[in-house]
Amino acid sequence: MPQRTPDELDAMAAAGAVVAAALEAVRAAAVAGVSTLSLDEIAESVIREAGATPSFLGYHGYPASICASVNDRVVHGIPSAAEILAPGDLVSIDCGAVLDGWHGDAAITIGVGTLIPADEALSLATRKALEAGISAMIAGNRLTDVAHAIETATRAAEVRYGRAFGIVDGYGGHGIGRQMHMDPFLPNEGAPGRGPLLAPGSVLAIEPMLTLGTRKTVVLDDKWTVTTADGSRAAHWEHTVAVTEGGPRVLTRA
């Protein structure tokens, strides 16, 4: 894993702040009656007004600036004018921006109005798993120590909320820097103590994805949208995080 200098981390944090601003604008706009395409337009506007470029738009042909994954969609949902948010929807928004050649990548899960308890627990559990992964971004740890922390927090959330959560199989976090997706792949579960050593300047996009049912997914005919195989709801939280001498540094905050 490449080690970024403090100045490079600051540059990544500048890109990350643009992502954070775009996600906050989308969060504020995600109400019943709004289309996911409108959310995409809002995010793109925020990104471009900041002098950055949407990382997702055109990436391997992807047609939008955000991924908007509603209810049983896990990741890579394509925004659409025909998809109108309704009360109780669970919406995961993934967003990336590149500024001065450096990438930021983050995701949030939003409830439209009041969520049912199961969906609220799902989003909270996923966010707690992310926080556990962030806490494991410490010099001297290895890659799978982060993965193991995510899994351990997921299992703790199952006890806390009295329900099982599926850790989505085959998807996870990744290295990030001058490119949006770089090695290594970061699983959201696994045994600790394996993989590359984390050192000051190591950067990962950490992104747990949990479901209320199966671990298995299906890719729709659009070749992008990933849904749960059983129709259960999913949540997705993500931050870009650096290892520093002073501990983990989240680079995708305003």
Annotated binding-site residue numbers for a divalent metal cation: 94, 105, 174, 207, 238
Q: What is the DSSP string of 138-167?
A: -TT-BHHHHHHHHHHHHHHHHHHHTS--EE
Residue 134, helix vs strand vs coil: helix
**Burial track 155-177 (b if 16+ CB lie within 10 A, e otherwise):** eebeeebeeebbbbeebbbbbbb
Strands 239-244, 247-250: pairing is antiparallel
CA-wise closest residue to 203 among 167, 170, 171, 173: 173
> Both tokens of residue 22?
């775009």
**Residue numbers belonging to the annotated binding site for substrate:** 76, 181
Positions at the binding site: 76, 94, 105, 174, 181, 207, 238
Q: Quick one: which of 166, 209, 206, 201 has its CA closest to 184? A: 206
Residue among 69, 73, 105, 92 nearest 186 (CA): 105
- The DSSP element (H or E) to which 46 belongs, if any, is helix 36-49
End-to-end CA distance of the chain: 26
Whether 76 and 63 have beta carbons less than 8 Å apart is answered as no
